[in-house]
Chains A and B, each alone.
Chain A
Amino acid sequence: MVPLAFVEPGSVVEVLDFRCGSACTCRLRELGIVRGCRYRVSTGAVNRPFILSNGETRIGIGAGMALKVMVKDVNHGG
């Protein structure tokens, strides 16, 4: 389990946990980021915002938030 912030672009991640308050967890959830869901990391780096994609859906996550979303790197590769 690592924070999203440390995942390389191109990886596929599975969301495991959230290290933030209920309001922000709720916001993530409404946008479809829930435990167990899988996203591909389109862009992002430490201290930079991330874009997660799933089909045509794109979710932007700020640099600070990326440290609070805990994920598992499912399949590293292009």
Chain B
Amino acid sequence: MADKSFVIAVAGNPNSGKTSLFNRLTGSNLKVGNWPGVTVEKKEGEICRADISFTFVDIPGTYGLSARSEDERIAMDFLTKARPDAVIVVLDSANFNRNFYLFTLIMEMGLKVIPVLNMTDMAEKRGITLHTDRLAAIFGIPFVKTIASRGKGISALWKVLEGVGELRKPVHLPVYPEPVETAVQVLMERFPKEASSRFRALGVLDGGIVIPGNDELRKTVARFQGEIEEELQGEPDELIAEKRYEFVYSVAKECVERRMSTEQKVALTDRIDRFVTNRYLGGPLFLFAMWLLFFLVFTVGNPFADWINRGFGVLSSFVPGSGLFASFIREGLIAGVGAVLVFVPNIFILFFLIAIMEDSGYLSRAAFVADRFMHALGLHGKSFIPMLLGFGCNIPAVMAVRTLENEKDRVLTALAIPYMSCSARLPVYLLFVGIFFTRYQSTVVFSLYLLGIFIAVLVARTLRRIFFTKAVSPLVMELPAYHVPSVKTAAHSAGIRTLFFIRKAGTFIFGSVMVIWVLASLPLGVPYASAQSIIGRIGSAVAPVFHPAGFDSWQAAVALIFGFLAKEVVVGTFGVLYGGQAALSSAIGAHFSALSAMSFMVMTLIYIPCVATIAVIRREIGTKWAALSVGISVTLGYGLAVVVFQVGKALGMG
């Protein structure tokens, strides 16, 4: 039993090695979830050491702390409201000044801090030495040097953590000019119960903290801001930031020693940058990198996926009998849940490769290169990656939107992804073009992919105009130094995300599969998924709706309903309903014309994201947006199918 328990937040800049350090501290004792009300990943790890229970909370990687961006707001709220017992601040030793700026903000919150100077090996290589003894003397707290990716310095960090109860707060903080300090002293009294009152007073002065609906406080703040502006001839937010930077520079001057930096290394980084962000080469290189990623996800993943698929096939053959229960296990449980679990290898590889690319430093360059093009489409540079992955499978693609920092970009990208024609839709196209468009197969299929991209762009642009008129996120980003990525860290982060996928998508799919299987089996005694079953009757009831689009057989309606589960099922449904592969061609030839086949393919492309994609959209960006996604896609899919058929008919192509 633990005698004491402490909550320790882990903060730091992006690319400071925060994740590696967090993993080193928590091992596999991880809980992954979302921060309340938002879609930013929250990781927590509990661990017992020296009779003390530690709960580590990984807060989003940020450069500052203000209410201006979602990640920063989450970090700030957690630190000021949840008041952890101490904050580990991970600092990239090679980028001391910028990292120390965030550390300064956290010190101003009046919390106990444990500064960790990480990646000291990289700093040394660049001729930068940090004097922890001088830092400790100035601030009155221990500074720990680590190389988290290799586990160095972690035991020293644990020693500090074990004594966290007796740890002092830092004794050296920035001092602001007279009118600012006066304002801070007065404003601090407005936050009497808040231990972070100094940080909050500064925050309302520099506009980083939104003043809660309190008119009197707002007036007071405005008065102080006016006084500061008049006396010091500058905006309060700039004055405060400048003082903080002066503070950082003064500390750096005392404690950071820079020998002549290794010019060669810098030149190499510049040379790589000049190459990968080159006006003419950058784009093609980026496309090649994306193609390679996409290629590996499917070529490396598919054999494993096939094994899993075969495993489920074998499993299914072990289920004896033809009774209701056997059918439930085979057609419902194994076929339905198996269809989703088959994607696990692809998803793992996808997240692994993204982590590798991110760790190497290339991903931020890629986003940088794609930004201009994506911007024209109303999306962020980084949106390109999830969009491209959508061609493989929409599920991991939507999951990949969490690599975007901005809520608005996440929402727009997640809503655009379902129009990227995933591999599950291909069998449907192949079936129809093989029957109706034998001479133009590839052209027809390619045009469907293009239509998907066109609609994705249209949807993203329109939604941006409707919902996100104001905020245009400017492109300013850190381009981290190139380094050899850590396979272990990448595998770890891919593993966590994959498990999360298995759990959530798995449980949701399981529920949906049950419902659909029940509908296809009832009433008792009818053949599975026949016209007399409930689903068959629903199909017959829905079929007339599709009359204007040219396909009104109940089987087509049922195929589209089943296709909601997974779009491959559209083909499977036709197979079952029209009596197997052999009879399929002639039956479809009889029920469809070339024109109605085209409208049916357009419908299949657009009409609805599959149930698992909807579940993932819901989890990533919320129920409201998932509902909107379904609404838009159903309307667009049906509308376009009708347009294709009616225009075609008017032109005499029926």
- Which A residues have a C-beta under 8 Å from some C-beta of B? 20, 22-35, 42-43, 45, 48-49, 51, 53, 55-65
The residue on A at minimum CB distance from B62 is: A30
Give 1 or 0 for each of B457-480: 1 = CB within 8 Å of chain A CB: 000000000000000001111111
Among all A-B residue pairs, the 3 with the closest Cβ atoms: A62-B475, A30-B63, A30-B64
Cα–Cα distance between A48 and B242 once the two chains are bound (Å): 29
Do B270 and A27 touch across chains, with their CB atoms under 8 A apart? no
Q: Is B269 an interface residue (CB 8 A)?
A: yes
| Contact A56/B475 with A22-B207, A25-B238, A32-B98 known, Cβ cut-off 8 Å | no
Best-surrounded residue of B128, B208, B269, B475 (most CB of chain A within 10 A)? B475
Do B245 and A28 touch across chains, with their CB atoms under 8 A apart? no
Cα–Cα distance between A49 and B364 once the two chains are bound (Å): 13
Chain A residues near B269 (CB-CB < 8 A): 53, 56, 58
Q: Classify chain B: how many residues form its interface, as a range.
A: 35 or more
Closest Cβ–Cβ distance, residue A73 to chain B (whole Å): 19
Cα–Cα distance between A15 and B131 once the two chains are bound (Å): 29
Interface residues of B in 406-436 (CB under 8 A from A): none
28 A-B pairs with C-beta separation under 8 A: A22-B235, A23-B68, A24-B476, A25-B237, A26-B66, A27-B69, A27-B476, A29-B241, A32-B101, A34-B241, A34-B245, A43-B270, A43-B274, A43-B277, A48-B279, A49-B475, A51-B273, A53-B270, A56-B94, A56-B95, A56-B266, A56-B269, A59-B478, A60-B476, A60-B479, A62-B371, A63-B372, A65-B474
Give 1 or 0 for each of B205-243: 1 = CB within 8 Å of chain A CB: 001100000000000000000000000000101100110
Give 1 or 0 for each of B363-390: 1 = CB within 8 Å of chain A CB: 0110010011001000000000000000
Cα–Cα distance between A33 and B371 once the two chains are bound (Å): 21
Chain B residues near A48 (CB-CB < 8 A): 279
Q: Is B492 an interface residue (CB 8 A)?
A: no
Do A51 and B479 touch across chains, with their CB atoms under 8 A apart? yes
| Contact A65/B475 with A31-B63, A34-B241, A55-B126 known, Cβ cut-off 8 Å | yes
**Besides A26-B66, A27-B69, 6 other CB < 8 A contacts?**
A27-B68, A32-B98, A51-B277, A56-B122, A57-B478, A62-B372
Interface of A (DSSP majority class): mixed
The residue on B at minimum CB distance from A42 is: B270
- Which B residues have a C-beta under 8 Å from some C-beta of A? 62-64, 66, 68-69, 94-95, 97-98, 101-102, 122, 126, 128, 207-208, 235, 237-238, 241-242, 245, 258, 261, 265-266, 269-270, 273-274, 277, 279, 364-365, 368, 371-372, 375, 474-481
Cα–Cα distance between A65 and B238 once the two chains are bound (Å): 19
The residue on B at minimum CB distance from A63 is: B372
Do A45 and B273 touch across chains, with their CB atoms under 8 A apart? no
Do A60 and B368 touch across chains, with their CB atoms under 8 A apart? yes
Chain A residues near B279 (CB-CB < 8 A): 45, 48
Do A55 and B476 touch across chains, with their CB atoms under 8 A apart? no
Do B481 and A29 touch across chains, with their CB atoms under 8 A apart? no
Chain A residues near B481 (CB-CB < 8 A): 56, 58
Do B273 and A22 touch across chains, with their CB atoms under 8 A apart? no
Do B274 and A42 touch across chains, with their CB atoms under 8 A apart? yes
Chain B residues near A49 (CB-CB < 8 A): 277, 368, 371-372, 475
The residue on A at minimum CB distance from B235 is: A22
Contact of B475 among A25, A29, A45, A61 (CB under 8 A): A61
